[in-house]
Amino acid sequence: MHPPFASVWFDCDSTLCAIEGVDELLQFAQKSLREDIAVLTREAMEGRLPLAAVYESRLRLLAPSQEQITAIGELYVLRIVQDAHAVIAALQFLGKQIGIISGGLLPPVQRVAAALGIEKSCVHAVPIEFAADGSYRDFDKSSPLWRNGGKVEVLRALPKSSRPIAFIGDGATDLETQGTADLFIGFGGVAVRQTVKANAQAYFATPSLAPLLTFVLTAEERSRLQNELRFADLLTRSIL
């Protein structure tokens, strides 16, 4: 599928942000658990283990408090990928709907969205529940995003006005959207997942998100951005 696209949707961890939230939560875990949990995360991201097989066990072992989740949200914002702000601003200038579909926890992902100017209604992630004292209680198992195929379900539920859809992400669950999204773009600027690199319809692996524009804009849309002084440098950086 070639542009124009009505909407562009992003994964969060290792796509919009240069960290994996679960990995960052390991700093709060007992040392004896850290490597075991990190291995589970890598296996799920590479597609060697079903996401649901590791999601619940990781959170149960980590049992993150509300305070810790808030701290991860702030770290997400500090580690937003190069040119993400400008890319999203440019796409919004062109009238495209921008959203996030993530298997991460909802509060930190919402914090990223707020920092990037993405509407809260366009943020899909896994809600988390806390006890009255802020300790971890559970996550919302009714969300499809804690298991494989969840991102496909969310995309399928979007209204027709959101199509054609472009989706960008780094991991195996992002690659699953290929065929449901009208274009899937793999991103390896933070972490290279070999299965994504080998199978994505389009792929780039630069520290900057700017080259995304190469895949999602028409010549007319690029011309419109070129005529906006604030986006001229961004277009220069978008060239692969």
Q: Which among 11, 83, 174, 182 is annotated as catalytic?
A: 11
Closest by alpha carbon to 193, among 175, 167, 216? 175
Q: How many CA atoms lie within 13 A of 203 on its CB side?
A: 20
- Would you give the DSSP letter of residue 113? H
Query: Within 10 Å of residue 36's Cβ, how many Cβ atoms?
Result: 12
Active site residue 138: no
Active site includes 13? yes
The per-residue b/e assignment along 84-105, b for 16 or more CB within 10 angstroms, e otherwise, is bbbbbbbbbebebbbbbbbbbb
Q: Of residues 13, 83, 170, 182, which has the active-site annotation?
A: 13
Tokens 């100017």 label which residue?
A: 117
Instruction: Please list the alpha-helical segments (H only) found in 157-206.
Output: 172-175, 194-199
Answer whether 120's CB lies under 8 Å from 113's CB.
Answer: yes
| Dist CA 232 CA 224 (whole Å) | 10
Query: 54-74 burial by CB neighbour count: b if 16+ within 10 A, else e?
Result: bbeebbebbebbbebbebbbe
Residue 209 to residue 140: CA distance in whole angstroms? 31
| Contact between 18 and 208 (Cβ < 8 Å) | no
| Residues designated catalytic | 11, 13
